[in-house]
């Protein structure tokens, strides 16, 4: 109880209203209860689904449609990306240099435009959390699977385990996870600032 009171005071005095990022992954239902009851005015609860990667369930090859080009994510990609642009990179990586040095990413280009992209939202050195987006005008063509597989191949080359999680209700993300060799879904609670 003493720790919970300290955490609450620290949060109210140093985090809330200070435009700081606040994300809590709860390890147990006891912690969910603490956040549901004590922090409910300040945070919103999300239910996320987490998957395990099974390399034996996935085919590491893919074929690119004509006039499409697969590239590693680099400084030029950051400038051209509508999704994983500088503000995204700064929010999750602190700086563009940090991402370029420690992150992973691939993008699919068509007529000089990024149409699908996959980057590590987090990379511990042994695990890389996947963040993936396909341009709405190019969906339903399997392009998310192509960039996802290319990203997974990069991870495996570097002995990094790819990781996948998504909002519990994101059916498209769940389907893509299964196509890329992820399964054994588990749900967990996540809290972010309102």
pLDDT of residue 58: 66
> Angle formed by the axes of helices 2-14 and 29-38, to 10°?
50
142: DSSP letter: S
pLDDT of residue 23: 84
pLDDT of residue 103: 93
Instruction: Report how far residue 152's alpha carbon sits from residue 144's, in angstroms, rounded to the nearest whole number.
Output: 12
Pairing of the two strands 105-110 and 127-134: unpaired
Polymer length of the chain: 194
pLDDT of residue 83: 93
Give all domains of the chain, ordered by start, each with its CATH number: 2-48 (no CATH), 51-186 (3.40.630.30)
Tokens of 11: 């949060």
Q: Report, as ranges of residue numbers, the positions in the chain whose pLDDT lies below 50.
A: none
For residues 85 and 133, the answer to whether their CB atoms sit within 8 Å is no
Alpha-helical runs (H) found in the chain = 2-14, 29-38, 75-80, 86-93, 96-102, 143-157, 171-179
């Amino acid at each position: 109880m003493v720790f919970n009171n300290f955490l609450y005071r620290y949060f109210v005095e140093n985090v809330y209203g200070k435009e700081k990022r606040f994300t809590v992954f709860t390890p147990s239902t006891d912690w969910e209860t603490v956040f549901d009851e004590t922090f409910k005015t300040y945070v919103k609860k999300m239910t996320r689904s987490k998957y395990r990667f099974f390399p034996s369930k996935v085919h590491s090859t893919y074929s690119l449609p004509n006039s499409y080009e697969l590239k590693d994510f680099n400084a030029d990609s950051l400038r051209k990306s509508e999704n994983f642009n500088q503000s995204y990179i700064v929010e999750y990586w602190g700086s563009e240099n940090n991402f370029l040095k420690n992150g992973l990413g691939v993008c699919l280009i068509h007529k000089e435009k990024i149409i699908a992209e996959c980057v590590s939202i987090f990379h511990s050195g042994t695990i890389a959390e996947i963040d993936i987006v396909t341009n709405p005008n190019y969906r339903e063509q399997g392009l998310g699977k192509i960039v996802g597989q290319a990203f997974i191949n990069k991870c495996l080359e570097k002995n990094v385990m790819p990781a996948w999680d998504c909002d519990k209700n994101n059916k498209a993300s769940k389907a893509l996870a299964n196509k890329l060799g992820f399964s054994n879904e588990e749900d967990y609670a996540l809290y972010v600032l309102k």
